[in-house]
Chain A
Amino acid sequence: MASLLASTGVFTCALAVVALVIAAAGYDLSGAARAAVEGAVGSPFAVLSATLKRTAPFLMLGLAVAVAFRAGVLNIGAEGQFLAGAAAACAVGLFATPVLGRATLLLEIAAGMVAGAGWAGIAAMLKRRFAVAEVVSTLLLNFVAANVVAYLVRGPLQEPTGAYPQSSMLEPIARLPLLIDGQRLHAGFPIALILALATWWFFRSTAAGFRFRMTGSGRAAAASAGLINVNAVQMHALIASGAIAGLAGACEITGVTYVLYEGLSPGYGYTAIAVAMLGGLHPLAVVASATLFGALGAGADAMQRNAGVPAGFAVVAAALVVLGVLAIPRTLRLLRPAWPGRS
């Protein structure tokens, strides 16, 4: 309960700081704030088509990051795994639709998960065989993925006119169904919610989830006292994390954009770190945290459109949130005198 209050407090403070900066930069703060709030929650369209639509990728990517971090794996590559999933889903969609019709959708989703898992698997293999820290390898693979997508949309997957660096558009039957007429909310959102519940249950009630948690909380004790194969657990966590991130990418392609292009992910993978941390790595809290960030994104977009305030501030707010989450418990602990090591 205390950490829930702390997290809410941090989010509010971050918004307050950004608001100050916006005002200081000479923008009309009340106009900006109004635009932001309206854009996020001001109408059914705002709630469903702006906020919740954005929440879906944040939620899935946040879960991906949380699953990895909880097992002590620093997967900074959700961005690249997201792109891998999107690219795979798009490729499957473009080539398989004539053959498979409606079933293409399932295959796209599956391909997305496999591609994301595989992209993370590269980092997992490098870690297992060559002891390369996943922090660096997943990060570098993000850039490789971005370049691969750039290549694909200018080459094999490029749309027929060849004028734009983007893929052909997915046929309607290869897209995720929309949930409500007139709104842009797609089936990916309930998929994400179900995933959150499944992840929660996994960590709470299964032996495998327990192994993940122990490996992340105390690797040495997990190996020695629990006889847990911590290397295997961390590999599995990294691959599972990649699969979830790939799923997010597949849903984004089949549910929102229907087209693959560079810049598909405006830093979602990094924002996901903030989402996961704000939720304390707890799957159900990540749902709330992702919704907040969805609202933040929707509001920032509306703010830029209607009041001219740069949307980059949303990224700044996300960074401040992470820093705030880190700062609060530690500042509290600093107020109490230090505890020595017993010897």
Chain B
Amino acid sequence: MTAGGVALDLRGIHKRFGDTIALDGASLSVASGTLHALLGENGAGKTTLLDVAAGLTRPDGGALTINAQPVRGHTPADARSAGLSAVHQHFSLVPAMTVAENVALSSPGLFRTFSASDAAERVRTIATAAGFRIDPSALVANLPVAAQQRVEIIKALASDPAVLMLDEPTAALSPSEAADLFVWLRAFVDRGRTVVFITHRIREAMQNADAVTVLRSGRTVMTSAVCDTDESSVLTAILGEAPIRVHGTPTRNPGSAAAMTPVLVLRNSTVIDAGGVTRLSPLSLAVHAGEVLGVAGIDGGAQHALLRVLAGRRRPDSGTAELPTTIGFVPEDRLHDSIIPELSLVENLALRGAGKRHGRIRWSDLTNATRQAIRGFGVQARDEYAPASSLSGGNQQKFVLARELADSPAAFIAENPTRGLDVRAASDVLERIRSARDRGAAVVVYSSDLDELLSIADRIVVCFGSSVHETPLDAAVIGRAMVGAQ
């Protein structure tokens, strides 16, 4: 380990996927013994850069040096033996296997025997050294998200890395769990290791890191120690021009609740999933015309079930839900739940209302409607017959909104509508949602970004576990409610 030297050095990394240039000569230089933040918008290339460093992706050009040793190979095993381990954002744990088995998965040698007791011992050793407590025989599927992340970290620590890279580590954590993680990361760095974490949250980076690097469009546009810069400079670097108001001006509806008619009404509604687990405890809730109800909550909470009951996609297992006939719904997983990528925009538009349609289909009417929707919402597409997969993420989302809002529904439900969108597209989407509210719809929005939520909501409810209750529009109160503290 080079004390005071450069622990990780990526220089001039190029990578393209088909027609897209993911990295265009990006660089990253991290001093040994520091906590370094890698920032950028979605699509700027941060995850690709991490994949290159961790050996998951082979770059088209550029050099990678770990602890002053150039790394020749391009496999995860090469990265690990050079002293770099990565903790990924999603899906690198096997839910059906135990913690010990998951950690053993990265052991070298396919014919090495695995004994449950030895592996458990190993897990305990690493965990204790790191300051965690974890049960090696627990099934990953039964662990809460924060514990699963700890398993990921143990996996990464198993090879005793000099450099630890984390991809959006706080995305699924509550504010207090995130704070705990950074305390641990700081202690880890103080012991002479190096940490690089990817985030799109500027404040998080400024508060916790020693230095930041900003990527934009696959290039490195800024590298600085945190003490030498400030939030707005970083924001400018991320966006590339004078920053627009990220979330727009909050315009709250001054009218009193009594003056507004309830459009979505739940009475003692519950949702119990196929495994018998209660996803939503009995809830009575009303959402009124012309208001935005913001929903906050960490991953795994009641918001998933709540939104689907409100959108009419799930009937409550007990209690009632009174819903209007026209409802627009924009779920989070667009490519899976909202559109069928290989079909044309016309067919995707025809999808709305397909369940109730009778008799012959009037394709000419649907084609006209599609043209209007594309024009009205500024969707960039070749034409109405283009396959939905040919649109960028932002345009796909705009198309989905156009479809769901086209008939001015009485209610509109959106789940993380700006996730994966660049700042401009996100701002556009939020404006559309505000227009829907101003036109008298009852709007419900779930967002994992508290700032965004506070900029748009008239009321807020917080989901914790299976319970939902209303809180004042105060970030601190909401943050506490998200972890069940009062």
Binding site for B on A (CB under 8 A): 205-207, 210-211, 214, 217-218, 220-229, 336-340, 342-343
Say whether, besides A342-B43, A343-B89, A220 and B336 are in contact (CB < 8 Å).
Answer: yes
Of B47, B313, B357, which is in contact with the most chain A CB atoms at under 10 Å from its CB?
A: B357
> In the complex, what's the smallest C-beta–C-beta distance from B269 to chain A, in angstroms?
19
Which of the 9-residue segments B179-187, B209-217, B251-259, B339-347 touches chain A? Answer: B339-347
Dominant SS at the B interface? loop
Which chain A residues lie closer than 8 Å to B47 at the CB level? 343
Closest to B363 in A: A205
Say whether, besides A217-B342, A224-B331, A338-B17, A211 and B361 are in contact (CB < 8 Å).
Answer: no
Chain B positions 4 through 32: 1 when the CB is less than 8 Å from some CB of chain A, otherwise 0: 00000000000011100010000000000
Which chain A residues lie closer than 8 Å to B329 at the CB level? 224-225
Chain B positions 87 through 120: 1 when the CB is less than 8 Å from some CB of chain A, otherwise 0: 0011000000000000000000000000000000
Known pairs A207-B358, A214-B354, A227-B356; list 11 more (Cβ under 8 Å).
A210-B354, A210-B357, A220-B337, A224-B313, A224-B331, A225-B339, A226-B351, A226-B352, A227-B353, A337-B18, A342-B393
> In the complex, what's the smallest C-beta–C-beta distance from B409 to chain A, in angstroms?
13
Which residues of B, 50-97, contact A by the 8 Å Cβ criterion? 89-90
Which chain A residues lie closer than 8 Å to B337 at the CB level? 220-221, 224-225
State in angstroms the CA–CA spacing of A207 and B352 once bound together.
Answer: 12
Which chain A residues lie closer than 8 Å to B356 at the CB level? 227
In the complex, the answer to whether B355 meets A226 with C-beta atoms within 8 Å is yes
Chain B positions 113 through 137: 1 when the CB is less than 8 Å from some CB of chain A, otherwise 0: 0000000000000000000000000
In the complex, the answer to whether A222 meets B18 with C-beta atoms within 8 Å is no
- Cross-chain contact of B18 among A221, A229, A339 (Cβ < 8 A): A339
- Cross-chain contact of B353 among A226, A336, A337, A342 (Cβ < 8 A): A226
Which chain B residues lie closer than 8 Å to A342 at the CB level? 43, 393, 420
In the complex, the answer to whether A207 meets B17 with C-beta atoms within 8 Å is no
- Cross-chain contact of B361 among A210, A217, A227, A336 (Cβ < 8 A): A210
Asked if B191 is an interface residue, CB under 8 A from chain A, the answer is no
Shortest Cβ-Cβ A-B pairs, 10 listed: A218-B340, A227-B355, A207-B357, A226-B354, A224-B337, A226-B351, A228-B355, A217-B340, A340-B17, A225-B351
Give how many B residues have a beta carbon under 8 Å from the other chain's beta carbons: 36
Which chain B residues lie closer than 8 Å to A339 at the CB level? 17-18
State in angstroms the CA–CA spacing of A343 and B57 once bound together.
Answer: 14
Which chain B residues lie closer than 8 Å to A206 at the CB level? 359-361
Asked if B338 is an interface residue, CB under 8 A from chain A, the answer is yes
Which chain A residues lie closer than 8 Å to B16 at the CB level? 337
What are 16 A-B pairs with beta-carbon distances under 8 A? A205-B361, A207-B358, A210-B361, A211-B354, A218-B343, A221-B338, A224-B338, A226-B353, A226-B355, A227-B313, A227-B355, A337-B18, A338-B17, A342-B43, A342-B393, A343-B47
> In the complex, what's the smallest C-beta–C-beta distance from A87 to chain B, in angstroms?
36
Which chain A residues lie closer than 8 Å to B313 at the CB level? 223-224, 227
Asked if B350 is an interface residue, CB under 8 A from chain A, the answer is yes
Which chain B residues lie closer than 8 Å to A221 at the CB level? 336-340, 351
- Cross-chain contact of B350 among A210, A218, A227, A340 (Cβ < 8 A): A210
Which chain B residues lie closer than 8 Å to A340 at the CB level? 17, 22, 48
Which chain A residues lie closer than 8 Å to B90 at the CB level? 343
State in angstroms the CA–CA spacing of A329 and B426 once bound together.
Answer: 36
In the complex, the answer to whether A214 meets B351 with C-beta atoms within 8 Å is yes
Which chain A residues lie closer than 8 Å to B339 at the CB level? 218, 221, 225
State in angstroms the CA–CA spacing of A151 and B347 once bound together.
Answer: 49
> In the complex, what's the smallest C-beta–C-beta distance from B203 to chain A, in angstroms?
22
In the complex, the answer to whether A207 meets B354 with C-beta atoms within 8 Å is yes
State in angstroms the CA–CA spacing of A221 and B355 once bound together.
Answer: 12
In the complex, the answer to whether A225 meets B352 with C-beta atoms within 8 Å is yes
In the complex, the answer to whether B340 meets A214 with C-beta atoms within 8 Å is yes
> In the complex, what's the smallest C-beta–C-beta distance from B64 to chain A, in angstroms?
19
Which chain A residues lie closer than 8 Å to B354 at the CB level? 207, 210-211, 214, 222, 226-228
> In the complex, what's the smallest C-beta–C-beta distance from A238 to chain B, in angstroms?
19
Which residues of B, 141-195, contact A by the 8 Å Cβ criterion? none
Which chain B residues lie closer than 8 Å to A229 at the CB level? 355
State in angstroms the CA–CA spacing of A86 and B67 once bound together.
Answer: 76
Which chain B residues lie closer than 8 Å to A225 at the CB level? 329, 337-339, 351-352
> In the complex, what's the smallest C-beta–C-beta distance from B33 to chain A, in angstroms?
30
In the complex, the answer to whether A211 meets B360 with C-beta atoms within 8 Å is no
Closest to A216 in B: B340
In the complex, the answer to whether B355 meets A211 with C-beta atoms within 8 Å is yes
State in angstroms the CA–CA spacing of A225 and B337 once bound together.
Answer: 7
Which chain B residues lie closer than 8 Å to A226 at the CB level? 351-355
Which chain A residues lie closer than 8 Å to B89 at the CB level? 343
> In the complex, what's the smallest C-beta–C-beta distance from A223 to chain B, in angstroms?
8
Which chain B residues lie closer than 8 Å to A214 at the CB level? 340, 347, 351, 354
State in angstroms the CA–CA spacing of A211 and B356 once bound together.
Answer: 10
Which chain A residues lie closer than 8 Å to B312 at the CB level? 227
> In the complex, what's the smallest C-beta–C-beta distance from B407 to chain A, in angstroms?
14
State in angstroms the CA–CA spacing of A217 and B335 once bound together.
Answer: 12
Closest to A342 in B: B393
> In the complex, what's the smallest C-beta–C-beta distance from A44 to chain B, in angstroms?
41
State in angstroms the CA–CA spacing of A104 and B357 once bound together.
Answer: 38
Say whether, besides A214-B354, A337-B18, A207 and B393 are in contact (CB < 8 Å).
Answer: no
> In the complex, what's the smallest C-beta–C-beta distance from A212 to chain B, in angstroms?
10
Say whether, besides A207-B354, A210-B357, A337 and B17 are in contact (CB < 8 Å).
Answer: yes
State in angstroms the CA–CA spacing of A326 and B179 once bound together.
Answer: 51
